[in-house]
Amino acid sequence: MTPAASLAIAQQLLERPDAKTAGLWPRAAALLARQALEQSLDERWRAKGLALDQLSTQAQLICLASYLDDPIATSLRQTWGALSSACHHHPYELAPTVEELRHLIAVTRSFMQETA
């Protein structure tokens, strides 16, 4: 699945929550958005001819600060961290809200558009 397709499905989960997926769709949307961000990051490195796509995502995000403005790289690192945290169920923690997910998806989409 392409990053754009993953992000589109994540967006659909936000727009049309279904009773069958109650309680599951926020984490599913976060997982799809994180997957889109990671794939876009890998594609960016390959397009630049760098073999950084073999590194962990955290290492790639650290390297990204050398290729993007620091505020953008920091925002992307925070977004990836928030999406990763949202993907895992922890007792007594709420799933991300629709607005939180919309923001995280928007940051991911912005990076994908810059990469394209």
Q: 49-89: per-residue pLDDT in tens? A: 999 988 999 999 999 988 888 888 999 999 999 999 998 87
Domain range for 59 is 3-115
pLDDT band at 116 (very low <50, low <70, confident <90, very high): low
Interval 1-10 mean pLDDT: 94
- So what's the pLDDT on residue 82? 95
- So what's the pLDDT on residue 104? 96
pLDDT of 105 > 90? The answer is yes
Quote the percentage of the chain above a pLDDT of 70: 96
DSSP class of 67: T
Interval 2-25 mean pLDDT: 85
The sign one gets for the Cα dihedral 44, 37, 42, 78 is: positive
CA distance 22 to 64: 36
- The secondary structure of 24-36, three-state, reads CHHHHHHHHHHHH
Identify whether the C-beta of residue 107 lies closer than 8 Å to the C-beta of residue 36.
no
Per the structure, how many domains does the chain have?
1
**Does the predicted TM-score (pTM) go above 0.85?**
yes
- So what's the pLDDT on residue 85? 92
Mean pLDDT of the chain: 90
